[in-house]
Amino acid sequence: DSGVTQTPKHLITATGQRVTLRCSPRSGDLSVYWYQQSLDQGLQFLIQYYNGEERAKGNILERFSAQQFPDLHSELNLSSLELGDSALYFCASSGWVQETQYFGPGTRLLVL
Amino acid sequence: EDQVTQSPEALRLQEGESSSLNCSYTVSGLRGLFWYRQDPGKGPEFLFTLYSAGEEKEKERLKATLTKKESFLHITAPKPEDSATYLCAVQVKDKIIFGKGTRLHILP
DSSP type of residue A1: -
Q: Please tell me the distance from the alpha carbon of residue B65 to that of residue B57, in angstroms, as a whole number.
A: 7
Nearest CA in chain A to B92: A99
pLDDT value, residue B102: 97
Mean of pLDDT over chain A: 93
**Top-ranked range on mean pLDDT: pick from B28-32, B45-49, B95-99:** B45-49
Q: Please tell me the distance from the alpha carbon of residue B1 to that of residue A100, in angstroms, as a whole number.
A: 23
**Cβ <8 Å between B96 and A103:** no
Could you tell me where the beta strands, DSSP code E, fall in chain B? 3-7, 10-14, 19-26, 30-38, 45-50, 56-59, 62-66, 70-75, 84-92, 95-98, 102-107
pLDDT value, residue B86: 98
**Cβ <8 Å between A2 and B101:** no
Please write the tens of the pLDDT for every residue from B58-100: 999 999 999 999 999 999 999 999 999 999 999 887 778 899 9
Query: What amino acid occupies position B67?
Result: T
More confidently predicted of B52 and A97: B52
Measured in residues, chain B has a length of 108
Nearest CA in chain B to A100: B49
Nearest to A56 among B44, B94, B99 (CB): B94
Q: Flag whether residue A110 sits within 8 Å of chain B, measured between CB atoms.
A: no
- How close is the nearest chain B Cα to the Cα of A103, in Å? 6
Please write the tens of the pLDDT for every residue from A10-65: 999 999 999 999 999 999 899 999 999 987 778 898 999 999 999 888 889 999 99
% of residues, chain B, pLDDT over 70: 100
Q: Please tell me the distance from the alpha carbon of residue A68 to that of residue A72, in angstroms, as a whole number.
A: 6
Confidence class for position A81, pLDDT limits 50, 70, 90: very high
